[in-house]
Chains A and B, each alone.
Chain A
Amino acid sequence: MSLPAGSAVVVIALFAGAMTSAAAAETQPPPAASYSPKGADSCLGCHDDASLLGLFKTKHARPKDDRGPFGHGGLQCEACHGPGGAHVAAHGEQPAGIVDFGPKARASPAAQNAQCLVCHQSNAHAWAAGAHAANNVACAACHTLHAPQDPVQNVATQVDVCTSCHESEHAASLMPSRHPMREGKMACTACHSPHGSTAPWQLVSATTTQTCTNCHAEYRGPFLWEHQPVTEDCTNCHNPHGSVQPALLKMRPPFLCQLCHEGAGHPSIANGPGGLPGAPGGTPSVYLLAGGCTNCHSQVHGSNHPSGRALMR
Chain B
Amino acid sequence: MEPLARHRYRLHTLGALATLAAGTAWADTPAPDMSRWKCEQCPFVEGYEGNVEAGAIYPSGANFSFGRYTGIDANKVYADVDATGQYRDAQGTNASYDIEKLGLPYGYGDAEVGREGRYEFKFLYDWQPTRLFETGVTPYLGVGSGDLTLPGSWVPAASTAGMTALAATAAPLKLEYDRRTAALLGSYIFNPALALHLELRHQDKDGTGLIGGSFLTQAIQLPQPIDYVTNTVEADLLWSGRRANLRVAYTGSWFQDVTNSLTFANPYLPLVPGSTSGRLALPPDNNLQQIAAKGNVAFDWLATTLNYAISLGQLSQNAGFLPYSTLPNYSTTPSWSSLDGSVNLSHYSLAIAMRPLAKLNLRASATYDGRDDHTSPMTYGYVITDTFPGPNGVNPLYSEDWIRLDGSIDYAFTRWLRLGVGGRYLDTVYYPDPVVSHTYDTRSWGWATFTWSELSVTLKGGNATRKADEFNAAALPPGENPQIAAYNYAARDQVFYDLSGSWSIAPTLIWSLEGFYGNNTYPLSQLGLQSADERRIATTFTWTPRAGLSAYLTGGYQTLSAQQNGYTSSTTPPWVVTQGERYWNVGVGGQWAIGQRWNLALDYIYSPTYANTDTEVGGVAQPFPQNTTSLNSLRIDLRYTWTPAWQLHLLLLHEEYNSNDWALNNVGPSTIPDLLAFGLQPLSDNVNLVGLTFRYQFGAGSKPSTP
Contacts and interface: CB of A to CB of B under 8 A. Distances in A.
Nearest to A71: B117
Given A218-B255, A218-B257, A232-B488, A266 B479 contact: yes
A2 interface: no
A306 B29 contact: no
Contact of A171 (B14, B210, B302, B585): B585
A291 B281 contact: no
Contacts of B32: 34-36, 39, 75, 78, 83, 85
Contacts of A24: 13, 15, 24
Which of A85, A236, A245 has most chain B Cβ within 10 Å?
Answer: A245
B602 to A, nearest CB: 16
Q: Is the interface of A mostly helix, strand, loop or mixed?
A: loop
A199 B197 CA distance: 22
A45 to B, nearest CB: 7
B567 A268 contact: yes
B664 A290 contact: yes
B480 A263 contact: yes
A1 B681 CA distance: 76
Interface string A183-207: 1010000000000101110000011
Which range contains the number of B residues in contact with the other chain? 35 or more
Contacts, number: 528
Interface residues of A, number: 159
Interface string A86-105: 00000000000000000000
Contacts of A303: 281
A276 to B, nearest CB: 6
Interface in B67-99: 68-70, 86, 91-92, 94
Interface in A265-285: 265-274, 276-278, 283-285
Given A129-B353, A171-B536, A229-B488, A20 B294 contact: no
A174 B37 contact: no
A56 B42 contact: yes
A205 B390 CA distance: 40
B583 interface: yes
Interface stretch (B138-146, B148-156, B375-383, B466-474): B375-383
B627 to A, nearest CB: 8
Interface in B81-139: 86, 91-92, 94, 100, 106, 108, 115-117, 126, 128, 130
A125 B296 contact: yes
B351 A44 contact: no
B37 A126 contact: no
Nearest to A33: B29
B553 interface: no
Interface in A249-272: 251-252, 255, 258-272
B37 A41 contact: yes
A140 interface: no
Given A24-B24, A196-B307, A307-B325, A290 B677 contact: yes
B343 A221 contact: yes
B665 interface: yes
Given A76-B37, A306-B380, A222 B339 contact: yes
Contact of A294 (B212, B239, B529, B661): B212
B566 A276 contact: no
Interface in A88-145: 114, 118-119, 121-123, 125-126, 128-129, 133-136
Contacts of B8: 114, 118
A272 B617 contact: yes
Contact of B286 (A70, A221, A259): A221
Contact of B353 (A53, A133, A155): A133
Contacts of B400: 231-232
Contacts of B358: 23, 26-27
A40 B663 contact: no
B245 A222 contact: no
Given A67-B192, A79-B3, A185-B69, A39 B37 contact: yes
B336 to A, nearest CB: 10
B680 A128 contact: no
B92 A62 contact: yes
B32 to A, nearest CB: 3
Contacts of A298: 211-214, 280
A147 interface: no
Contact of A41 (B41, B189, B307, B607): B41
26 contacts: A19-B356, A32-B30, A41-B40, A53-B702, A61-B44, A62-B44, A64-B117, A68-B117, A125-B307, A126-B309, A126-B351, A128-B307, A156-B100, A174-B605, A182-B69, A183-B106, A198-B347, A217-B288, A220-B286, A222-B342, A262-B527, A270-B615, A272-B622, A277-B671, A284-B671, A313-B281
The 5 closest A-B pairs by CB, nearest first: A64-B92, A17-B16, A265-B479, A63-B707, A35-B32
